[in-house]
Each structure stands twice: as structure tokens, then as C-alpha cells.
Amino acid sequence: MPYDRRTFLQRSGMGLGALGLAGILGEAGLTPSAASAASFGSQPTRQHYAGKAKRVIHFFLNGGPSQVDTFDHKPMLAKYAGQPIPETLATERKTGAAFPSPFKFRPYGQSGIEVSDIFSRIGEHVDDIAVINSMFAHLPNHEPSLMLMNCGDSVQPRPSVGSWVLYGMGSENQNLPGFIALCPGGYPIKDAENWQAGFLPGAYQGTYVDTQFEEVERLIENIRSPHATTAMQRRQLDLLGQLNAEHRASRSDPRLDARIESFELAFRMQMAATDAFDLEREPQHIRAMYGEGVHARQTLIARRLLERGVRYVQLWHGASQPWDHHSALEGGHRDLARQIDQPVAALLTDLKQRGMFDDTLVIFGGEFGRTPTVELSADGNSLLGRDHNQYGFSVWLAGGGVRGGTVHGATDDFGFKAVDQPTSVHDLHATILHLLGFDHERLTYRYAGRDFRLTDVHGKAIGNILA
């Protein structure tokens, strides 16, 4: 039965024997033979058009950074300080009066977009950034909102954005996982669900790396042998190759070749991973530009990974939900912003000087925003913090295909709810896929009788932030 290339690829990963396998191997770069290597190799396999971005780095400020303290300046809050605002929307907990931002905002760059002082270094790059100030999610709770932002559905197990992208584009470096999630100190809430492959094959799942560690063997599973030297392994693999070749001689099954090749790849991966995670190999001035601390380190690691062809890197702020400042927001936000402001700004500079900025998509944001009103304790006192807010929040994009120096949409006068050009998480996802060369309605995977897509039945790419 003849198959065209499209059918062939659609069948990949369906567990249907050799044919399906070849597709997977193709995208994972583990091609069974030279012939198919030519057809599948590292070529993007499912894109619908040439995307401007080729790779993604996503800073995930988990916990819910406050829009009115970062990128959505609302002077009205100062006018209403301590007074109730006209309409307070229901969120997870009770909130009271308007709570003006404790931070100063000022315009940056040619575009004059206002940014809070706590992100002053990022502010210096604002002409390269498109701020979406009209994001909204569905529920004021971390768990469903994390799932929505990462996987496009609040509750159902669905593949994450990174898994979809890897499924759509493959990886350019076969010696490293194609989708890596960096998070220092443990998992964010919802754990590995945030980078799950869902119904896609497990190979598309994000690989979790705990960047609190520095030794490569604690960063990547099984990357070092505790029981053999490199020389010993080489000799073992030579013998293995010999046995496998003999076994292969009387059989015709491309899976056999694929598995033979996978051992050679693994052998090389041990070196490649060590290299990618070893910041000692960066010159001092680069390290200094990113600064001190775990965020500087993981951002620089991320850049090294992207440089080596890793498709999707997600950097989490930390275990659990660090940005979740229900109380004492001023100090909390200031401290966390200080940890990432310099590394993120350094990354933008660094990508530019390496010529990678124009084809790297940078995403920056959390799972939702925070209320412009102050959170109250059980007995009705101000906690000097803000509750979760799904009605309106900010996310920014920069790099590949993004029109810098733009602001898309707006919240109301107080920053509570997106009112101008409300942008759903599905819209954001459609935009991300668009920038990478996908029509979000056509990047699909057949599961349980349906052609599923990242955006379910929603989403529209945001036209006016595209370059």
C-alpha cells in the first residue's frame, strides 16, 4: 500500500510496527538508514510555512507575577489608594481596597513603554519586546491555570506546548533532549504534568533538570556510568555492534538499526551533555554579564542548550510557586525580580550578539496575574499582598518574528480585567505556533478518535505583535 509522506508521518508514534516507528525515528533523528535520514533527518517535518522562530525559551514565573507591579502601569490605583474600586471581581480569596504598586514605573526606549523599576534591566530592552497586557485565563487557582498555560487545558491530561513543538519540529541536536525544563530546587506544583507529553509518545515529554545541582550526573538521568570508564564503554559498544550486526544480517527490521544507532548516540550524548551544562567553558565576561546565583546559571545553561539545537527550554523560577505573594508583595516581588532581571536582560543581549535573537522566541510570564486590590486576612486586615487574578495579566514575547516595542491589548483602569483585545491563552499558543511556522488548527494528533490540537477548538494568532 503506497503512503505519501504526510500519511507516513501521521502514523508515527502510533505503535503500528515498522512504519510508525520510522516516523518517530525520523523526527528523533534516529533514522534507520541513510536513505531515510535524507528524507527525515533534522528537517522540520510538520511546519506549514517558514516560521521566523526556530527555538523557544520560556521564562515561567510560576505563582502568578503581578501585572500592575511589572508591565501594566495603572496610575488610577494611586488615586484610589485605600479605597474600594468600582468593581471588585471574585477571585480565590477576599480582597479589599485598591493597592497601588509600591514600585515606580518609567518609560524606556524609543517606544516609551512603561516598565516597573523591579525589571529595569529588562526595561532597557523594551523596544525588542511585545507586551501583551490583556491576557486572561479561566480560574483563579494555580493548578488549572498552570495546566492551561502549559498544556492548553485546565484539567484534562494534554500535551504541553513544548511537546507539541517538538512533535512538530523535531530536535536539531540528537545528543540532547529536545525539550528541557529547568527548575532549581525541585518541581513546581503539578510537577512533571507541566511538561507532559500527554497522548503524544513519551519521547516528546520535557526532560526535567534541577539546576540547583552543578554536577552533570545530577542534572541528567543516567548520563554518567558509575561502573565503566569511557574506554570500557567504547569496547563494550564495539562488541555490542558486532553481535547486533550478526543478528541483523538475517533479518529485515529497521527497528534493529534504530536501536543499534541509539547506543552510539547515547555514547556521544554523554560528552555533549557534559559540555552543554559546563559553564566553566564560558568566558568570564559572559558569566559576569549574567551575574551571580542559580538564575544566572540556569539562564546561561539555557542559552548553551539553545545554541546546541535544543528546541524548547522552559526556565521555572523555582519549586512550588515562588511568585505567589498573597502577603508582603513588595519585598517578595522585589527579591524575585532581582534574581532574574539581570539574567533575562543578559540573555537578550547575548542572543543578539550571537545572531540568535531573530530566530529565538523568548516568552516571559506566569500562569495568571494578581488583583489590583489588596488581599485580606480572615479577620479583614490588609496583608499587603494580592490574590490570584485570572481576569487580566501580562505576558511578553520577544525575538523571532515578534514586533518589538509594542503593547497589545489593555486591562481596565485598575488593571483587574482585560477589556481591550482580550487575549486568551489559546490565542497566545496560536501565536507561538504561528511564529514557529504552524497553523495551530492544522498541527494535530489523532488520539481517541479525534484530531487533537494544542488550542482545542479555540485560538487566534495575535496579528499586531508580529514583525
Partner 1 sequence: MPTDLSQPLGKKYSLLRRRSLLMWSASILSVCFFLSNGDGTSAADRNDKPSAAELEFFEKEVRPLLAANCGECHGADEQWAGLRLDSRASLLGGGESGAAIVPGDPEKSLLIAAVRQTGDLQMPPDGKLDDKQIAALERWVAMGAPWPAGDGLAEDERAAAQRRHWAFQPITQPALPEVSDGGWCRTPVDRFIFAALDARGLKPSTPADRRTLVRRVSYDLTGLPPTPGEVEAFVQDEDPEAYAKLVERLLSSPHYGEHWARHWLDVARYSDTKGYVYAREERVFVHAAAYRDWVVRAFNEDLAYDRFLLLQIAADQAAPDDPASLAAMGFLTLGRHFLGVNVDIVDDRIDVVARGTLGLTVACARCHDHKYDPIPTADYYSLFGVFQNSAERLVPLPTPKLDDEMSVEYDKELQSRKTKLIEGMASAREDAAKRVRERLAEYLTAQLEIGKYPEEAFNQVYSKADMIPKFVHHWAAYLRRAGRANDPVFVPWSRFAALSAEEFAARTSQMASEIATAGDEVHPLVRAAFTEPPASMREVAERYAKLFLEIEQQWQELVKNAPADTKPERLPDPAAEALRQVLYAVGSPCVVPDEEIVSNEQFFDTDTINSIWKLQGDVERWLNESPDAATHTVALLDRATLNEPRILRRGNPAAKGDEVPRQFLKALSPAERQPFQQGSGRLELARAIIAPDNPLTARVWANRVWAYHFGAGLVKTPSDFGLRAEAPSHPELLDWLAQQLLTRGWSTKNLHREIVLSAAYQQASTAPAGDEVHAATAAAARLADPENRLLWRMNPRRLSFEEWRDTILSSSGELDLAIGGRAKELFPAHDKNVRRTLYGLVDRQFLNPAMRVFDFANPDLHIPQRSETTVSQQALFAMNHPFVAEQARALVTVVEAEAAGDPVKLAARLYRAAFQREPSESERQAAIDFLAATAADAPSGPPAETLAWSYGYGEVLAAEGRVTFEPLPHFSGAAWQGGAQWPDAALGWAQLTADGGHAGNDLQHAAVRRWRAPRGGQFRIKSTAQHEVAAGDGIRCWIVSSRQGVLQTQTLQEATMLLEVDSVALEAGDTIDFVVDFNADLNSDQYLWKATIEEIEAPANDATAGANASEVAAATWNSVRDFANKSPEYLDPWHQLAQVLLLSNELMFVD
Question: Interaction with partner 1 in 425-454: which residues (CB under 8 A)?
Answer: 448-450
Contact residue for partner 1 among 43, 110, 225, 464 (CB under 8 A): 225
Q: Quick one: 238 or 355, whose CB is closer to partner 1?
A: 238
Confirm or reject binding of residue 228 to partner 1 (CB under 8 A). Answer: yes
For 358, the grid coordinates are 531573530
Contact residue for partner 1 among 56, 132, 149, 269 (CB under 8 A): 269
Confirm or reject binding of residue 338 to partner 1 (CB under 8 A). Answer: no
Q: Which of residues 82-141 bind partner 1 (CB under 8 A)?
A: 90-93, 139-141
Q: How far is the CB of 259 from partner 1 (least distance, A)?
A: 5
User: How many angstroms separate the CA atoms of 361 and 25, rounded?
Assistant: 26
Q: How far is the CB of 339 from partner 1 (least distance, A)?
A: 14
Q: Which stretch in 224-232, 340-348, 399-407, 410-418 sits in contact with partner 1 by CB under 8 A?
A: 224-232
Q: Quick one: 101 or 163, whose CB is closer to partner 1?
A: 163
Confirm or reject binding of residue 327 to partner 1 (CB under 8 A). Answer: no
Q: Which of residues 2-31 bind partner 1 (CB under 8 A)?
A: 13-17, 19-21, 24-25, 28, 30
Contact residue for partner 1 among 117, 124, 217, 307 (CB under 8 A): 217
- C-beta separation of 316 from 339 below 8 A: no
Confirm or reject binding of residue 324 to partner 1 (CB under 8 A). Answer: no
Residue type, 314: Q
HEC sequence for 424-462: EHHHHHHHHHHHCCCCCCCCEEEECCEEEECCCCCCCCC
Total residues in contact with partner 1, by rule CB under 8 A: 88
User: How many angstroms separate the CA atoms of 287 and 378, rounded?
Assistant: 46
Helix, coil or strand: residue 96: strand
Strand pairing category for 444-447 and 105-108: unpaired
For 223, the grid coordinates are 548520563
- C-beta separation of 56 from 361 below 8 A: yes
User: How many angstroms separate the CA atoms of 413 and 78, rounded?
Assistant: 11
User: How many angstroms separate the CA atoms of 418 and 396, rounded?
Assistant: 15
Contact residue for partner 1 among 247, 281, 354, 442 (CB under 8 A): 247
Confirm or reject binding of residue 236 to partner 1 (CB under 8 A). Answer: yes
Strand pairing category for 406-408 and 129-136: parallel
Q: Quick one: 17 or 75, whose CB is closer to partner 1?
A: 17
Q: C-alpha distances in angstroms, 179 versus 48, 160, 171, 285? A: 21, 10, 8, 28
Of 135, 58, 71, nearest in space to 364 by CA: 58
Fill in the per-residue mask, 48 to 87: x = in contact with partner 1 (CB under 8 A), - = not in contact: ----------------------------------------
User: How many angstroms separate the CA atoms of 127 and 123, rounded?
Assistant: 8
Confirm or reject binding of residue 185 to partner 1 (CB under 8 A). Answer: no
Confirm or reject binding of residue 210 to partner 1 (CB under 8 A). Answer: no
Q: Which of residues 152-171 bind partner 1 (CB under 8 A)?
A: 155-157
